[in-house]
Structure formats: C-alpha cells, structure tokens
C-alpha cells in the first residue's frame, strides 16, 4: 500500500445556529500517481457507461 500525504483544509460553518468545524483531507499525488489514478477513474467510468448502454438496449428490445 502506498503512503500518501494529505492537504488539510478547515472551515467553520454555521449549521442550525451552531458553529461546526469542517475538515477536508485531499491526497497529494506525485505526477505518476495522478496519471495512474486518472486511468483508473477513466476505466471505471467506461465500465459504468457500458453497463448503462447495455441495459438501455435491453429495455428497448
């Protein structure tokens, strides 16, 4: 498993009259990791798209 560093962003927001601290952690990728994650995401989206197209054709028949 890869060791990742994270960028932390904090913000205080009001919710129902109360202050709440929101924290967001975003992974910091080196360029090669970013390319790999991008390819993984493209592949997952392609698979979802193919499922959607396949199910649409079956309903049309």
| SS3 assignment for 11-56 | EEEEECCEEEEEEEEEEECCHHHHHHHHHHHHHHHHHHHHHHHHHH
**Interval 1-57: pLDDT, tens:** 567 899 999 999 999 999 999 999 998 989 998 999 999 999 999 999 998 887 766
Instruction: Determine contact, residues 6/25, Cβ cutoff 8 Å.
Output: yes
Helix (H) or strand (E) holding 5: strand 5-15
pLDDT top residue among 13 and 59: 13
Residues paired with 28 in a beta bridge: 5
pTM of the model: 0.50
Alpha-carbon span 38 to 44, nearest angstrom: 10
């Amino acid at each position: 498993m890869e060791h990742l560093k994270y960028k932390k962003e904090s913000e205080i927001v009001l919710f129902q009259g109360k202050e709440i601290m929101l924290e967001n952690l975003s992974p910091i990728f080196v360029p090669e990791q970013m390319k790999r994650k991008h390819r993984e995401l493209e592949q997952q989206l392609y698979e979802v798209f193919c499922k959607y197209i396949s199910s649409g054709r079956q309903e049309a028949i």
